[in-house]
Every structure is written in structure tokens, then in C-alpha cells.
Amino acid sequence: MVTGKEKMMKTTAIEKALKESRFFKDFEETTIAKIADIGQLVKLEAGENVFQQGDFGQHIHIIVNGHVSLERKTDLGKRTGSVVIDMLGKGRFLGCWSTLLGEAHILMSSATCQTDTQTVALKGEDIRRIMSEDTAIGYVILERLCHLLRERIQAAYGALERI
């Protein structure tokens, strides 16, 4: 059974991680608290996957500590290969952000821990609910997602050039 003190410590750790993240920085305390309330701390070991390409995605993750490689496997007919799209560290955002749009989504890359890693996992549908309840927050989140999408597309194109 989780005590009130344990829940408060967990929430405080999640709030701190959100405040230090590139994605949620500058959000108001009340918004951070709302988002922290739906978060879960996840501990992963080096070599473990945060998620795998082809899986159904439901969560986004903020890296609390550790390093994660974002990788895409490709099938080129008789040859298969993979390319690292990006290396992500503390404060970075990854996962199935498209679940915020209320649609099912198959993950297009894998995220593998390069070191022991801890993330804050947020279920997309829970964030979507917060965004719907407060459209001002929703607007800021969507705006930041647009910047993130641009960043990931640039990283993917850069990775393709290395093939």
C-alpha cells in the first residue's frame, strides 16, 4: 500500500523532472502538478527498450536520467538495416505523442536505453484530457509538439544521409 508520504515523494520527483524537461519547462506550477499527477516513474536497465518499432504506442516519456537511442529499422528488400535517428538524454521527450491526437498509432522507431535510465511515463489519453479541459494548455502543448516534430524530422533526414 502506498502511503501519502510515498505518493508525495513520487509526485515531487515527477514535478521536478517535468520542470527540468525541455518540453514542459516554463509551465505554471498548477499545470505541472496536474501533469505530474498522471505520471509514473519507470526504471529501465541499459539494453532495455522503452518501446519497440511496430508496437502500439500509448505513452510519452520524459527522460529523468540516462541515455536513450532512437533507432529505425528498415527493410531494403534483400537487405535490412537500422539507423540511429537521435541520442536523447535528461529532459528529452520521446514516445507516442500522436496518442495526444486521440488516434491509435504504431510506433515507427525503437527507443533503447544505452545506460540505466529513468523516465516519467505519461499516457497520451490522459494528457489529451488535460488539453481538452484547458485549451490554453492544449495550445502550448500542440505548439511544442510541432517544434518536436520538426526536430525529429530533421534528425531522421540527417540519419538517412548517413546510410
Pairing of strands 68-75, 110-113: antiparallel
**Structure confidence by residue, pLDDT tens digits, 43-100:** 999 999 999 999 888 899 999 999 999 998 887 777 787 888 889 999 999 987 777 7
DSSP-derived 3-state class of residue 138:
helix
Residue where the block lists cell 517535468? 18
Contacts of 162 (CB under 8 A, 6+ apart): 83
**Structure confidence by residue, pLDDT tens digits, 8-50:** 556 689 999 999 998 998 999 999 999 999 999 999 999 999 9
